[in-house]
């Protein structure tokens, strides 16, 4: 059979052409970036010509990109917006296994991967493209004083607890609400300030909250549809932390406002006493966790109760949060829907009221996507703002620790605790001072300009387009801010370059482990992802870094016209979970491509970004609006997000799955 295939290319093509339509979906489906792939139009009628070279199999010409200074970024630019419009089938169960087997085949797999890359425009837009720019391997940004409005300066050597206190001073005064007050007409989640006040007043203790947390997690696991919030949590360790916090409050000596507050950690971040699995059944065996990541250490130093490791998509290689090993994290607003990936568990625990905040890692929207789908804040700082010591090095130039929180105020408090450089870092890496937004100021920031690319902004479902457009209009009208119409060119090229980058970095990081790994330990969708990731070579990686430099310059020019880029956070709301995907994972190009559509610049270019819940679709599923800022512009982004939140928070809805941990009974 092997000889027959090798010497009969027409037969080979006929054998695989029946599967190639489905295989074209493969590259799309892995978080953080499913590529935007065009359908393969070759038919069996042309199979012999295809493989004989007459159709140019080995002549994948590349684009010649014109100089950045010649690109028109105005609203009437003739730059073409390349839209993903492939109709590809969803695959799960046995079909996913078939694709994995074909791709892992030494001969057929190699040919299929080449065809996929060629017809998915990777060769045309990246691999064989001609770019003038030099490669930029790390998206480090030199510090530029942005003269941001209404900020508080904090010494960079202040302790995490001191920074938390300064952040608390930046928050608006709110009416105190008893933990037993359930008469409010609108829904709101308990905040870090609520926990702190309740503990200080003696209404409830951290120990009692910890007990209720443990009971709630048990309840969520025994539900008809298990929520699968956590990969690992230790009740004894949680109660030990809570008891120590309770004693501090009894002595009148809490460490900070975070003392006794439950915070969850994505299982991509080291956190004792738990292994760091990355959503796998094997990674912790080859990379043992030896202590806390820097960000976790800083939270502990503020007295926060670390309540466990949240569920995630295996290796961060998917947008759904479906994990065949630890269960599928379900959306608290609708347990039959996905929570999003890859920081699915962190988004869901915040949405469900189990924690006011959680940490995630954002390599391609992995914080902002699930935050939007679960109706919470998702905040990703500038690359390098938060130390990455102790985080799985799955994608070291695009992945960043991010924050998921019920409110923007809570995101600011956690950001204050974990940001800042390590003592060993060069002093020039970060700005000399930390700046926190004065959210309690009576003078809102002024003259903000939002860059909006209409074709891109509107490339989403009608419900999201209308909701986000209305929210942006309301924001501009209320604060007298302006929208500037622009063109952001080559979004698809940037997306492919990012996908190539994150895939190459993932397989390089895991290379020594993968050589010895029994692939039966991997989920089937992760097997497909790793096979595609491993198909990229050094030439393609360097071309992708040239594209990074090019897009850096393009976005710098965009930011010369406006302060912030605005877009929906996702192109679709949370979609349904089907039983056939629970044990294998799934490949869903259409939904996967829509989920990552607006995420890439934040990761590939290292820009700060935040998503804010602004409404719901007809099924009651949350919709998020995203703001992408200039490097080091976190205070301005937070001001804008806080303003957007203030206009929408009275319309927030309670999830179907929600736990009130501050209720005394």
State the catalytic residue, choosing from 117, 124, 266, 543: 266
Residues 6+ apart with CB under 8 A from 454: 75, 485
Specify whether the CB–CB gap between 575 and 330 falls below 8 A.
no
**Catalytic residue at 343?**
no
Q: Which of 327, 356, 493, 353 is nearest to 344 (CA)?
A: 327
Specify whether the CB–CB gap between 170 and 412 falls below 8 A.
yes
Structure tokens at 12: 């080979």
Structure tokens at 160: 């995490």
Structure tokens at 39: 């359908």
Q: Which of 19, 13, 22, 31 is nearest to 361 (CA)?
A: 31
SS3 for 499-521, per residue? HHHHHHHHHHHHHHHHHHCCHHH
3-state secondary structure of 218: helix
Structure tokens at 481: 């801010």
What does 239-298 look like in DSSP terms, one character per residue?
Answer: HHHHHHHHHHHHTT--SSTTTT-EEEEETTB-BTTB---TTSSSHHHHS---S--HHHHH
Structure tokens at 401: 């620790």
Distance in angstroms (rounded) separating the CA atoms of residues 225 and 236: 26
Residue pointed to by tokens 């902004």: 457
Specify whether the CB–CB gap between 411 and 405 falls below 8 A.
yes
**Catalytic residue at 18?**
no
Task: Give, for 231, the enclosing helix (H) or strand (E).
Answer: strand 230-232
Distance in angstroms (rounded) separating the CA atoms of residues 249 and 256: 10
Specify whether the CB–CB gap between 377 and 407 falls below 8 A.
yes
Structure tokens at 67: 């100089």
Return left, alpha or beta for 278; rule: phi > 0 is left, psi -120 to 50 is alpha, else beta. left
**Catalytic residue at 97?**
no
How far CA 627 is from CA of 120, 476, 637, in Å, comes to 29, 13, 7
Distance in angstroms (rounded) separating the CA atoms of residues 186 and 472: 22
Distance in angstroms (rounded) separating the CA atoms of residues 58 and 115: 10
3-state secondary structure of 624: strand
Specify whether the CB–CB gap between 413 and 192 falls below 8 A.
yes
Distance in angstroms (rounded) separating the CA atoms of residues 504 and 1: 33
State the catalytic residue, choosing from 228, 245, 346, 366: 366
266 forms beta bridges with 310
DSSP class of residue 130 equals B
Full strand arrangement of the beta sheet holding 357-362: 230-232, 305-310, 262-266, 357-362, 400-405, 377-380, 609-616, 622-629, 564-568, 449-452, 482-485
State the catalytic residue, choosing from 47, 127, 256, 342: 342
Specify whether the CB–CB gap between 276 and 283 falls below 8 A.
yes
Whole-angstrom distance between the N-terminal and C-terminal Cα of the chain?
70
Which residue numbers are catalytic?
A: 266, 342, 366
């Amino acid at each position: 059979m092997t000889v027959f295939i090798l010497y009969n290319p027409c037969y080979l093509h006929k054998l695989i052409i029946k599967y190639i339509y489905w295989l074209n979906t493969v590259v799309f489906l892995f978080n953080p970036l499913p590529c935007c792939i065009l359908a393969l139009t070759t038919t069996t009628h042309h199979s012999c010509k295809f493989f004989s070279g007459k159709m140019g199999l080995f002549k994948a010409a590349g684009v010649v990109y014109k100089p950045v200074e010649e690109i028109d970024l105005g609203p009437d630019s003739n730059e073409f917006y390349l839209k993903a419009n492939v109709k590809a089938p969803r695959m799960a169960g046995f079909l996913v296994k078939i694709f994995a087997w074909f791709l892992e085949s030494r001969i057929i797999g190699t040919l299929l991967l080449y065809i996929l890359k060629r017809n998915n425009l990777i060769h045309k837009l990246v691999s064989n493209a001609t770019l003038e720019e030099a490669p930029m391997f790390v998206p480090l940004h030199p510090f530029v004083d942005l003269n941001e409005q209404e900020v508080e300066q904090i010494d960079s050597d202040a302790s995490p607890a001191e920074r938390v206190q300064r952040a608390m001073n930046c928050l608006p005064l709110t009416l105190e609400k008893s933990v037993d007050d359930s008469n409010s007409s609108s829904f709101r989640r308990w905040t870090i300030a609520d926990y702190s006040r309740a503990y200080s007043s003696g209404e409830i203790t951290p120990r009692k909250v910890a007990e209720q947390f443990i009971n709630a997690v048990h309840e969520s696991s025994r539900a008809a549809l298990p929520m699968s919030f956590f990969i690992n949590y230790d009740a004894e360790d949680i109660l030990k932390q809570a008891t120590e916090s309770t004693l501090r409050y009894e002595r009148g000596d809490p460490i900070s406002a975070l003392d006794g507050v439950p915070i969850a950690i994505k299982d991509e971040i080291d956190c004792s006493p738990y292994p760091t699995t990355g959503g796998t059944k094997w990674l912790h065996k080859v990379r043992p966790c030896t202590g806390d990541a820097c960000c976790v250490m800083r939270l502990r130093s503020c007295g926060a109760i670390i309540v466990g490791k949240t569920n995630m998509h295996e290796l961060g290689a998917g947008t759904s949060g479906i994990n065949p090993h630890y269960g599928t994290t379900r959306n608290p607003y609708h347990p039959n829907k996905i929570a999003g990936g890859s920081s699915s568990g962190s988004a869901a625990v915040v949405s469900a009221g189990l924690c006011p905040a959680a940490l995630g890692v954002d390599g391609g929207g992995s914080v902002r996507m699930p935050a939007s789908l679960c109706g919470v804040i998702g905040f990703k700082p500038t690359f390098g703002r938060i130390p990455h010591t102790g985080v799985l090095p799955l994608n070291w130039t695009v992945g960043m620790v991010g924050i998921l929180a019920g409110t923007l105020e809570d995101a600011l408090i956690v950001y204050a605790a974990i940001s800042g450089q390590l003592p060993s870092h060069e002093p020039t890496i970060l700005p000399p001072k930390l700046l926190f937004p004065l959210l309690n100021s009576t003078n809102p920031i002024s003259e903000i300009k939002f860059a909006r690319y209409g074709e891109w902004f509107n490339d989403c479902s009608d419900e999201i387009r209308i909701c986000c457009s209305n929210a942006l209009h309301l924001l501009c009208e209320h604060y007298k801010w302006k929208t500037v119409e622009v063109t952001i060119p080559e979004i698809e090229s940037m997306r492919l370059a990012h996908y190539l980058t994150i895939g190459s970095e993932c397989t390089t990081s895991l290379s020594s482990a993968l050589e010895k790994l029994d692939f039966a330990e991997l989920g089937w969708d992760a097997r497909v992802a790793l096979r595609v990731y491993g198909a990229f070579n050094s030439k393609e990686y360097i071309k992708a870094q040239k594209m990074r430099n090019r897009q850096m310059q393009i976005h710098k020019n965009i930011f010369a016209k406006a302060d912030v880029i605005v877009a929906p956070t996702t192109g679709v709301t949370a979609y349904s979970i089907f039983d056939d995907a629970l044990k294998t994972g799934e490949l869903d190009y259409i939904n996967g491509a829509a989920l990552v559509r607006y995420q890439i610049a934040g990761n590939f270019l290292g820009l700060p970004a935040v998503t804010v819940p602004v409404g719901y679709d007809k099924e009651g599923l949350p919709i998020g609006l995203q703001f992408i800022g200039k490097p080091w512009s976190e205070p301005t982004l937070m001001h804008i997000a806080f303003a957007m939140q203030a206009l929408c928070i009275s319309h927030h809805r309670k999830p179907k799955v929600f736990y009130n941990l501050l209720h005394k009974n």
